[in-house]
Amino acid sequence: MNLLLFEPSEIENENIVWLQDRRSEHIINILGCRPGDTVRAGVINGPIGTAKVLTIRGKGKKAEVSLHFAAHDYQPEQPVIDLILGLVRPIMLKRLLAQVASLGVGRIFLINANRVEKSFFETNLLKDENYRPYLVHGLEQAKDTRMPQVSIHKRFRPFVADYIPAVSKTYCRMLVAHPEAETGLKQLEWPGQKGRILLAIGPEGGWVDFEINNFMEQSFVPVSMGERILRTDTAVVALLAQLMILTDYKEAT
Amino acid sequence: MNLLLFEPSEIENENIVWLQDRRSEHIINILGCRPGDTVRAGVINGPIGTAKVLTIRGKGKKAEVSLHFAAHDYQPEQPVIDLILGLVRPIMLKRLLAQVASLGVGRIFLINANRVEKSFFETNLLKDENYRPYLVHGLEQAKDTRMPQVSIHKRFRPFVADYIPAVSKTYCRMLVAHPEAETGLKQLEWPGQKGRILLAIGPEGGWVDFEINNFMEQSFVPVSMGERILRTDTAVVALLAQLMILTDYKEAT
């Protein structure tokens, strides 16, 4: 945990926060804080700042900590990349959500595809925002406060044929990962534009031709990692990292 | 499995290969091959080509397949990046070895560091090349035949102070990942050179100052991913992917 994160609703009058969960435990047992110490803290989708420990009551897992939060005058910028992901199995999704949040992504569209197992949509992970703690872990790791917005789309065709046309104008570039594409990200032109990017990465086993064609009809450009075929989890991190370096992606400073 | 891989020793007279393991099972049950069919195949550290199924004997896991291998006239190029990795816990190491092999790395130095748990060096995974199947999976995934060469270094200081000076001339650039570095990979100059790169990424928790200083004394340049602190497994894939795009990294064609 490189950044202590609060929900906006946790900040009470006079910027006081009371914690009694894994965060208070972390503050006491891992960071070894005492009253008067400060830790880096931030508000989800809000500013970054510092939190000063005021009181510590009790011990162990039940210890309760009160802190005073002082926001700095900035908050991390909105990420420029949104991600469409063919739904992967839950164990991989948990890891990927944390990794994607730590790299910085605005929206995550989890969508159906031919090679998605139907049972993946029934997992508890997708219910009642059970996936949210994994996103929080990624933000805590990367010192970011911008929570990716996750949406779940159980039908491929309406998502690509109806939803995408409605939002495509907000993107300066739409890309679909496809190992058979002859173009790598580097071969595309990357002017100094500030527009947003939408990247679609297939489920385990990849997109089928029908899906690639659907994306291309919506003006997605197929891109590959050269001759290599990467597993979905590797491709997500690799392509996001490459886009970060190719675009004018600015980190908060 | 996007490429069927043979050990050089498995190729018998007249380029015949006999298989009776997960590979023959894959050929029969997943690919549904019959005698006369061909599959993409390659020899570890050797050429890529095709393998023609000659005979199938038996069923299920005990099925035995014979194939005739025909090499094409090329083999994948030697990767330009070598990786120093602070040893991570075994479950993460298994995944990372496959991911690193799929991205293409020449050598992997698994080294000790202050934040490496000593027990990690005692795991069975590191004994008798038990890690090798994970590398093979990565190569099968990425259609590569170049097996990364793994070495294990239980003492940090001799590795950096004695071993590195002996090999540093073979690298045009040596980098150490450090979240506090002010330079990202993009800020470095990347002339069209063809030299090799050595990248050092810390264990979970990162390098300590002593270690960063030791690397810098050996002319390693600290690099970061901007403001973000990434977990080791994310940093490895992200930095390798960025280096692939920044260097004149050529995939086999």
How many domains does the structure of chain B reveal? Answer: 2
Residue A100: list chain B partners with CB under 8 A.
Answer: none
- The answer to whether A242 contacts B240, with C-beta atoms less than 8 Å apart, is no
| Residues A55 and A104 both lie in one domain | no
Cα(A51)–Cα(A49) distance, rounded to whole angstroms?
Answer: 7
SS3 content of chain B, % helix, strand, coil (to 5): 40, 25, 35
- The answer to whether A241 contacts B246, with C-beta atoms less than 8 Å apart, is no
Look at residue B11 and tell me if it is in a domain: yes
Domain end, chosen from A45, A71, A97, is at A71
Look at residue B219 and tell me if it is in a domain: yes
Least Cα separation, residue B162 to chain A (angstroms): 33
Least Cα separation, residue A79 to chain B (angstroms): 12
Position B253 pLDDT exceeds 50:
no
Least Cα separation, residue B252 to chain A (angstroms): 7
Going by pLDDT thresholds of 50, 70 and 90, the confidence category of residue B197 is very high
| Residues A67 and A86 both lie in one domain | no
Mean per-residue pLDDT, B166-177: 96
| Residues A61 and A93 both lie in one domain | no
Position B251 pLDDT exceeds 50:
no
Look at residue A76 and tell me if it is in a domain: no
- The answer to whether B103 contacts A237, with C-beta atoms less than 8 Å apart, is no
Look at residue B76 and tell me if it is in a domain: no
| Residues B126 and B216 both lie in one domain | yes
Domain end, chosen from B39, B71, B103, is at B71
Numbered residues of chain A with Cβ closer than 8 Å to any chain B Cβ? 2, 76, 98-99, 102-104, 141-144, 184-186, 225-231, 233-234, 237-242, 244-246, 251-253
Domain end, chosen from B27, B50, B71, is at B71
Pairing of the two strands B196-201 and B171-177: parallel
The share of chain B scoring above pLDDT 70, in percent, equals 96
pLDDT by 10s per residue, chain A, length 253: 899 999 999 999 999 999 999 999 999 999 999 999 999 999 999 999 999 999 999 877 788 999 999 998 677 788 999 999 999 999 999 999 999 999 999 999 999 999 999 999 999 999 989 999 999 999 999 999 999 999 999 999 999 999 999 999 999 999 999 999 999 998 888 876 678 999 999 999 999 999 999 999 999 999 998 889 999 999 999 999 999 988 864 443 3
- The answer to whether B230 contacts A104, with C-beta atoms less than 8 Å apart, is no
Q: Tell me the pLDDT tens digit for each residue of B21-65.
A: 999 999 999 999 999 999 999 999 999 999 999 999 987 778 899
A175 Cβ neighbours under 8 A, 6+ residues apart: A185, A197, A198, A199, A200, A220, A221, A222, A223
| Residues A66 and A88 both lie in one domain | no
Give the angle subtended at the CA of A99 by the CAs of A113 and A166, to the nearest 5°: 45
| Residues A46 and A90 both lie in one domain | no
**Domain containing B194 — which CATH number?**
3.40.1280.10
| Residues A91 and A216 both lie in one domain | yes
Look at residue B162 and tell me if it is in a domain: yes
Look at residue B183 and tell me if it is in a domain: yes
| Residues A27 and A145 both lie in one domain | no
**Domain containing B26 — which CATH number?**
2.40.240.20
The parent domain of residue B127 ranges over 81-246
Out of A103, A184, A229, name the one closest to residue B2 (CB).
Answer: A229
Q: Pick the residue with more confidence: A224 or B75?
A: A224
Look at residue B251 and tell me if it is in a domain: no
| Residues A115 and A239 both lie in one domain | yes
| Residues B201 and B98 both lie in one domain | yes
Look at residue A134 and tell me if it is in a domain: yes
Q: What is the pLDDT of residue B192?
A: 67
**Least CA distance to B145: which residue of chain A?**
A228
| Residues B108 and B181 both lie in one domain | yes
| Residues B18 and B54 both lie in one domain | yes
**Structural tokens at position A92:** 């991989």
